Each structure stands twice: as structure tokens, then as C-alpha cells.
């Protein structure tokens, strides 16, 4: 059984009112959750394009929309000290009544680090920081007091109240695909998202590696929920797909062929093709798809999912 979440990329230019309306429409269209990425801007040239802060956005949605789960996909460990991040996330879990999905990763978008004056270390150091930070976060969520002394992060006899509503803590989703992040998933994740995979075959290969790491770490592979974030440019039929593709590629300043090439990880096709693809992911153990749609095409795309895709998977 596969369920669906709606992934919002705030850096595309959303207003809060737009995101709130999409969140309200999730449940009627068969979507059980809404997710937000954690970015500060789309690129350096978009000086007037909105980019709502991930955690401020999730806090508002937690208060305004009561019937769906909310999550970060994924928040960046190095954008906030992990002790501060633990406090923020616990507060959002409390405000939402226990509906937070805590997605987190090591960070990657170098232009944001540079623009905001945040040090951008090597990939290896970013993962080192991630591994220290996740231990601090879990400690603050589950222990009366937490002391941790790492190379990059330390806390001393730290208290953190309130604790999250969910016990022992909100589900931790770790996103990534490199070996050290897969091993982190085996140690710490309740949910995983193999960010960047292009098809079920690539995803399945990573699951095989994850299962090996789980065996080595003495953790249960079966307890981990497998999810996949994908962009869908989906139409009712081939003619509808071509019309939609012409609109969304023009909005991005590209030809349809350029769009297909640059969005190689996206699904571009009919509702029937999307059903077949989702079924293939389900066969390898994926139980949730977080869908991203072209900006301003969200409600139209959600309706196609509600009418022609979700009932058939």
C-alpha cells in the first residue's frame, strides 16, 4: 500500500496563502501529508522570488491545518545548531499535536552557504557534523539531560522541555544516497528517502546496500519505512502531457526537449504511466511517494492524482 505526500519547494516563490490552500486540499485529494524543503533561495539572480523559511512554514501549517502530517524534506543539519534544531522540531511537534515527520540531511546547496556566510566544508565533514548532530537531537528529545562532546558540536548538561508529543520522538527521516549516509540510516532512521535516484532499479540497489548496513549495525531493515520524493509532470493523456510540458518548460525558459533533459529524474507522462511507475516502486518496498509538481500546476496535478492515479495503486 502506497500513500502520497505533497512536497513543497518554498524557493519556487510560494506565498503562505498558496501553501496553506494546498495543505487544505491534501486530504480531499488523497494526500496524507505535506512536506517542505529547507532552502534560503532558488538562485542568486532571483532577488524578488519568495522563499519561505521551512520551519516557520511548518509551524504555521501545524496550527492552521489539522488533518494531515507535516514534514521537512529535508532540513539541513548545518543551517542550525542541532540543539536549537531539536528545540524547534519539538515545538512544532507539540503545536501540531504529534504530526511532525522530521526529515534531515547533511546539506548540499553551496550557493546558500556562501551567500549566508555559513561555512561549507567538504562532504566528509558535512557527514561528520550530521552524525554528531543527530545524536544531540535524539538525546535532547529522549533524555532529561544531555551531554555530548564532539569535534564539531557539544552540549553540556542540556535540558530541553517540552519533549516531543510523539514517543519516543518524531519519526526521523534521513535523506541521502552515499555510503556513509546509508549507514547513518541503518543506525538512526525510522524512515529513509533515497534522494536523487532516477528509477526503481537505482532505488532497489540502494536498498540492498542499506539492508547490508542494517545487518552490520544490528538494526532491523524491515522496521525502516521507505519513501521516495519525485517530481511528476503528469497529464490525463499524451496531448495533455505535451500541453503541460510546453507551459512548464516555457516558464523555466527552456524548450520541452531541454526540460526533459534537465529534469531527468522527473516523471513526465500520462496518469496511466504514473500508475505503472508507482506500482514498480511499491514492489520494491516503497510505501510513500512525496510528489513535487511544477510550480502553479499543483492543484491541477493533485486532481489528476485523486481521479486517475491514487485509486489504482
- Predicted model pTM: 0.96
The pLDDT score that the predictor gives to residue 1 is 87
Reported as a single tens digit per residue, the pLDDT across 117-142 is 999 999 999 999 999 999 999 999 99
Architecture of domain 3-232+268-312: Alpha-Beta Barrel (3.20)
The upper half-sphere exposure of residue 21, i.e. CA atoms within 13 Å in the direction of its Cβ, equals 8
Is 132:121 a contact under the CB 8 Å cutoff? Answer: no
Pick from 196, 225, 199, 198: nearest CA to 210: 225
The pLDDT score that the predictor gives to residue 65 is 98
Reported as a single tens digit per residue, the pLDDT across 164-198 is 999 999 999 999 999 999 999 999 999 999 998 99
- Farthest CA pair distance, the chain: 62
Q: How far apart are CA 304 and CA 271, in angstroms?
A: 7
Q: Helix/strand/coil (H, E, C) string of 34-101?
A: EEECCCCCCCCCCCCCCCCCHHHHHHHHHHHCCCCEEEECCEEHHHCCHHHHHHHHHHHHHHHCCCEE
- Partnered with residue 193 across adjacent β-strands are 175, 227
Which residue in the block uniquely carries the three cell numbers 520494491? 284
Cis-peptide, bond into residue 162, ω within 30° of zero: yes
Cis-peptide, bond into residue 209, ω within 30° of zero: no
- Can you tell me the mean pLDDT for 87-91? 98
- Can you tell me the mean pLDDT for 266-293? 98
Surface-to-core class of residue 155, CB atoms within 10 Å of its CB (0-12 exposed, 13-18 middle, 19+ buried): buried
The pLDDT score that the predictor gives to residue 213 is 98
Surface-to-core class of residue 144, CB atoms within 10 Å of its CB (0-12 exposed, 13-18 middle, 19+ buried): exposed
Task: Return the sign of the alpha-carbon dihedral for residues 100, 286, 173, 57.
Answer: negative
Question: 50 pLDDT exceeds 90?
Answer: yes
Domain boundaries in the chain? 3-232+268-312
Reported as a single tens digit per residue, the pLDDT across 200-217 is 999 999 999 999 999 999
Question: 301 pLDDT exceeds 90?
Answer: yes
Question: 156 pLDDT exceeds 90?
Answer: yes
Q: How far apart are CA 124 and CA 192, in angstroms?
A: 20
Amino acid at each position: 500500500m502506497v500513500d502520497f505526500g505533497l512536497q513543497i519547494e518554498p524557493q519556487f516563490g510560494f506565498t503562505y496563502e498558496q501553501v496553506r490552500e494546498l495543505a487544505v486540499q491534501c486530504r480531499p485529494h488523497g494526500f496524507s501529508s505535506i512536506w517542505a524543503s529547507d532552502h534560503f533561495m532558488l538562485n542568486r539572480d532571483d532577488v524578488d522570488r519568495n522563499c519561505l523559511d521551512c520551519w516557520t512554514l511548518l509551524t504555521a501549517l501545524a496550527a492552521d491545518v489539522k488533518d494531515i502530517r507535516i514534514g521537512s524534506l529535508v532540513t539541513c543539519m548545518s543551517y542550525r545548531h542541532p540543539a536549537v534544531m531539536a528545540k524547534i522540531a519539538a515545538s512544532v511537534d507539540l503545536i501540531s499535536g504529534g504530526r511532525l515527520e522530521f526529515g534531515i540531511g547533511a546539506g548540499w546547496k553551496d550557493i546558500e552557504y556562501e551567500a549566508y556566510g555559513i561555512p561549507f566544508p567538504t562532504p566528509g565533514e558535512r557527514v561528520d557534523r550530521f552524525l554528531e548532530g543527530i545524536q544531540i537531537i535524539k538525546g535532547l528529545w529522549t533524555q532529561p539531560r544531555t551531554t555530548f562532546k564532539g569535534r564539531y558540536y557539544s552540549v553540556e548538561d542540556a535540558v530541553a522541555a517540552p519533549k516531543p508529543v510523539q514517543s519516543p520522538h518524531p519519526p526521523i527521516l534521513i535523506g541521502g544516497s552515499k555510503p556513509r549516509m546509508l549507514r547513518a540510516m541503518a543506525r538512526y532512521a525510522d524512515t529513509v528517502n533515497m534522494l536523487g535516484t532516477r528509477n526503481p532499479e537505482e532505488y532497489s540497489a540502494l536498498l540492498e546496500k542499506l539492508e547490508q548496513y542494517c545487518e552490520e549495525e544490528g538494526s532491523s531493515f524491515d522496521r525502516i519505512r521507505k519513501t521516495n520524493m519525485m517530481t511528476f509532470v503528469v497529464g490525463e493523456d499524451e496531448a495533455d502531457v505535451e500541453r503541460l510540458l510546453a507551459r512548464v518548460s516555457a516558464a523555466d525558459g527552456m524548450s520541452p526537449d531541454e526540460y526533459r533533459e534537465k529534469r531527468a529524474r522527473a516523471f513526465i507522462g500520462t496518469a496511466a504511466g504514473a500508475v505503472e511507475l508507482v506500482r514498480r516502486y511499491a514492489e520494491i518496498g516503497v510505501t510513500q511517494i512525496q510528489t513535487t509538481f511544477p510550480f502553479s500546476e499543483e492543484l491541477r496535478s493533485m486532481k489528476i492524482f485523486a481521479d486517475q492515479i491514487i485509486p489504482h495503486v
